[in-house]
Amino acid sequence: MEKSALQIARAAYQPKLPKALLGPVVAKEGKPTQSVGDQEEIKALFPNTYGMPVIEFVPGEQKQLEPFNVGIILSGGQAPGGHNVISGLFDGVKSLNPANKLYGFILGPGGLVDHKYMEITPEIMDEYRNTGGFDIIGSGRTKLEEVDQFEKGIQILRELGIKALVIIGGDDSNTNACVLAEYYAAKKYGVQVIGCPKTIDGDLKNEQIETSFGFDTACKTYSELIGNIQRDCNSARKYWHFIKLMGRSASHIALECALQCQPNVCLISEEVEEKNMSLDDVVTYIAQAVADRAAEGNNFGTVLIPEGLIEFIPAIKKLIAQLNDILATPAAKNLGRSEQIDFVKTHISKENLDVFNSLPTSVARQLALDRDPHGNVQVSLIETEKLLSAMVAVKLEQWAKEGKYVGKFGTQHHFFGYEGRCAAPSNYDADYCYSLGYNASRLIANGKTGYMSVVRNTTAPAAEWIAGGVPITMMMNMEKRNGKMKPVIRKALVELDGAPFKFFASKRAEWAKQTAYVYPGPIQYWGPTEVCDQPTKTLQLEHQ
């Protein structure tokens, strides 16, 4: 395989580990836990894995363990650092006993069900250290929910002598990991299941999980691109750039990029919902910023838009909720696309029908027809950036006739998503992910199942990071999915009373009017620690 000079140099990087993981460890247990919501329902669904304590690893005595094998699965969308989780796990299990083997299941959870796997050897592992992507074994979106899948899985796990399975994924994937851990525990199959928190969206976090891996690298990648656009914007001085950013359920990426780049406008979906803003309110807010800058002779600017914004506008959110229920009914199945539109229109409330009819035809069709495997609207397909810029143009034209606006409004559109998902991990993500994987090996060695690998205190130097595990059931509540109530990990949205948002809110009026752009530049791997090893602005503000 041909490699660039950077890949060759980067392969030699040895990720940093928390001091606590550098020698033998023992699990220090906290108090019994409970789920974040719906305690009785979650406890009833997970009797064997509910209520376990949070654990922290502290130095212990060296123990000789019998050889054991481990399986690993990459689940869901890619995120920078996945290969380092695998390399950390690989090195961790080998340090426990050199005879231990690591097997990767091909193309996600489907590889477990279909018995498609490969052994990860030292030669293979060395090809992928500190690289972006999930291409070592591939990823997939098969959901592990059915008993038949669990039973097919145990067949191959037994055949390969696998003692523990590590599932790297987001909230849905780790919910599946928890269901699998409970099933294997109830059946006394003797197979442990451990999760690792992955998602560039940044919405898999709580008091125990400071950040999901990949968020740091993805935000730095997007911020470099936004900075480049802002430099161009400030050079040409003739375009407003509408930039949509990944983050379907939470605006963490948009907020972090705003903190790094200081754009003129950044919308935060959670605030739009909190303030009960209509689509016209959002358009008016952007148009006012455009008009104010035009009054100063600045007919250019940048607008950051979270991918999931449309779902957070309260009127549209109500419409989507009813659409989800209607489309999950048996009567809605197997209808043609035009028939489905007619079916929807005759079954929604008058209030929701009025909202539906007020939307551009293309957006209305996407809300009514396009769903992902979890039954959610595929918001990434809705070109919100173009929708908003077109509506702002109409608003400005109206204001111009009324003498409220004098200026030119030229636009450019961007959507940054895939550009960040497989980027080479930053030093932070390289270290964090390697630590998560290495830590997972210690959870396995300590006999844990139904736990998420967690590493905390990550705004400090890596040596001071705290490693341990948190029961996945602790993060769960009941939510409606595909028309049914299901146990799921609660997503972490942007907290409007949190330090990152408050700092942003204190600065945005200034950034809106002034050209206060910051140009972060590309990710740096070598040099001063304040350039190379810094966590996100979000983490720094949350832990200052």
pLDDT band at 541, cuts 50/70/90? very high
Residue 477, phi then psi, degrees to nearest 5: -150, 180
Instruction: Tally the C-alpha atoms within 13 A of residue 272's C-alpha that lie toward its C-beta.
Output: 28
Contact 437, 87 (CB under 8 A): yes
| Mean pLDDT computed over 464-471 | 98
| Mean pLDDT computed over 110-117 | 98
What CATH code is assigned to 215-307+377-420+497-542? 3.40.50.460
- The pairing of beta strand 240-245 with beta strand 411-416: parallel
Question: Could you give the C-alpha distances from 154 to 56, 106, 183, 262, in angstroms and in order?
Answer: 29, 16, 11, 51
Pick the CATH number of 66-213+425-474 from 3.30.420.240, 3.40.50.150, 3.40.50.450, 3.40.50.1470: 3.40.50.450
Rg (C-alpha) for the chain, rounded Å, is 24
In the prediction, which pLDDT does 47 show?
98
Exposure letters 72-87 (e unless 16+ CB within 10 A, then b):
bbbbbbbbbbbbbbbb
* Strand ordering across the sheet containing 25-32: 25-32, 53-59, 466-471, 451-456, 192-197, 162-169, 69-74, 101-105, 117-119
Which H or E run contains 488? strand 484-489
| Mean pLDDT computed over 484-488 | 93
Q: What angle do CA 196, 202, 208 make, to 5 degrees?
A: 55
pLDDT band at 334, cuts 50/70/90? confident
Residue 342 in this model has a pLDDT that exceeds 80: yes
Judged by DSSP in three states, 316 sits in helix
| Mean pLDDT computed over 334-345 | 83
In the prediction, which pLDDT does 339 show?
85
pTM of the model: 0.93
In the prediction, which pLDDT does 257 show?
98
| Mean pLDDT computed over 237-255 | 95
Residue 419 in this model has a pLDDT that exceeds 80: yes
Note whether 66-213+425-474 and 215-307+377-420+497-542 share their fold: yes
Contact 538, 202 (CB under 8 A): yes
Instruction: Tell me which residue of 210, 331, 312 sits closest to 271, measured CA to CA.
Output: 312
Cα(348)–Cα(484) distance, integer angstroms: 19
In the prediction, which pLDDT does 373 show?
63
In the prediction, which pLDDT does 375 show?
63
- Taking the domains of the chain in order of start, what are their residue ranges? 66-213+425-474, 215-307+377-420+497-542
Q: What is the pLDDT of residues 208-227, one digit of tens each?
A: 999 999 999 999 999 999 99
In the prediction, which pLDDT does 237 show?
97
Q: What is the pLDDT of residues 285-317, one digit of tens each?
A: 999 999 999 999 999 999 999 999 998 999 988
Residue 508 in this model has a pLDDT that exceeds 80: yes
Cα(416)–Cα(351) distance, integer angstroms: 34
Cα(516)–Cα(512) distance, integer angstroms: 9
Q: pLDDT higher for 510 or 310? A: 510
Catalytic residue among 91, 201, 203, 216: 201
In the prediction, which pLDDT does 370 show?
65
Residue 512 in this model has a pLDDT that exceeds 90: yes
Residue 361 in this model has a pLDDT that exceeds 90: no
In the prediction, which pLDDT does 379 show?
65
- The pairing of beta strand 53-59 with beta strand 466-471: antiparallel
pLDDT band at 1, cuts 50/70/90? low
The answer to whether residue 172 is catalytic is: no
